[in-house]
Amino acid sequence: MRKILCVLVCLGALFGAQPYKILGLVPFGDHNLKIVFNQDIATLKLDEKKLQDGRVFVDIESILAVPKKSFAFKDNSIINVAQNTPKIVRIVLKPTKDYRLHKEAHNLYIRMGEATSALPALETQAIPTSTTKKKIVIDPGHGGKDCGAMGVARVCEKEIVLEVAKYLQTELKKRGYITYMTRDSDKFIDLIDRTKFANDKGADLFISIHANSIPVGRKSPSGIETYFLSTNRSQKALKVAEAENIGDIATMNYFSKQTFLHTINNHRLIASSKLAVDIQSGMVDSVRKKYKNIVDGGVKDGPFWVLAGALMPSVLIEIGYVSHQNEGKLLTTSEYQKLLANGIADGIEDYLDKN
């Protein structure tokens, strides 16, 4: 019996609770941080010390699996996270007013810079996750008098992309995001007004959804592609942009060459390219769960007017080719549209978690 107990003790030590590891540091809102752990932190002890200079040390017995980082927020509050000793991660808070810590599942939430009276008690406080603070504008391409491309199934592009956009909005709402649609019915919206709508809403992301096509008489390619804004003049980008830039003369005059160039800044271009990569990957992974042969057309950049006025990271998605014999028909099915929408949502979530 004693031998059995010894064996059990040894096994317990060998396979006991794993150490806590910090896998991610995700800022959200104006002055909040989500710290992501490898397991539930309900029993994790937070050793909290307030210093006379206003700083707060929060020591946690865990391992920082990501690089140390400092976060400076709009209200001048600061959060530093670093490995203090081999077993202790130290979080240094420099709040301008007050702060709150909240444990929920695998995450520790820190809210900074709000008056104590404005916050509920720590035990009952429900701090929103990163997704609840993000606003996403979904832009179904074309609409109204503008059919977009007409596919082999004899369905307008405008109808297909509107359905995908609706599924995407439903999926994003489930995940806690704030969403807006530039159109939720069959109506025409000028290119300028699409990004103006996103800017007016203070959107964090602008997602424009389209479907590709090759003129009749040519062998049609297939596959999913995602574009972000640039002055790229490659033959491929120009051909796609030519089809999607159709609008009234006033719009084209508005986006003169100089105006277009001035809309592009390096920071937004880099952010948009990262968003495009994550969305492209999300879509391909989602649709290939059932349709293994879907082509990954990759991420490209080009001169798309619909993205030019956006003040936030923005992408234009070509969800497939309506001109392709098989893919064109597939794009009209609700099952495939939902797979695309879920993939776009996965990509958005992946991007926001990393940025």
pLDDT score recorded for residue 17 = 65
Pairwise CA distance, residues 291 & 355, whole Å: 30
Please report, for the domain that includes residue 246, its CATH number: 3.40.630.40
Integer CA distances (angstroms), 124 to 43, 100, 102, in order: 17, 11, 9
Pairwise CA distance, residues 231 & 30, whole Å: 32
Same-domain pairing of 313 and 346:
yes
Counting the structural domains of the chain, the total is 2
How confident is residue 135, by pLDDT bands cut at 50, 70 and 90?
very high
pLDDT score recorded for residue 301 = 84
Strands 78-85 vs 69-72: parallel, antiparallel or unpaired: antiparallel
Q: Within a 10 A sphere around the Cβ of 291, how many other Cβ atoms?
A: 14
pTM beyond 0.85: the answer is no
Tens-digit pLDDT profile for residues 243-302:
555 554 444 454 554 455 455 556 778 889 999 999 999 999 999 999 999 999 999 887
Same-domain pairing of 55 and 94:
yes
Same-domain pairing of 232 and 298:
yes
Same-domain pairing of 72 and 94:
yes
Containing domain of residue 326, as a range? 134-354
Last residue of a domain, one of 65, 100, 122: 122
Same-domain pairing of 110 and 163:
no
Q: Is residue 67 part of a domain?
A: yes
Please report, for the domain that includes residue 50, its CATH number: 2.60.40
Same-domain pairing of 224 and 340:
yes
pLDDT score recorded for residue 128 = 41
Same-domain pairing of 141 and 63:
no
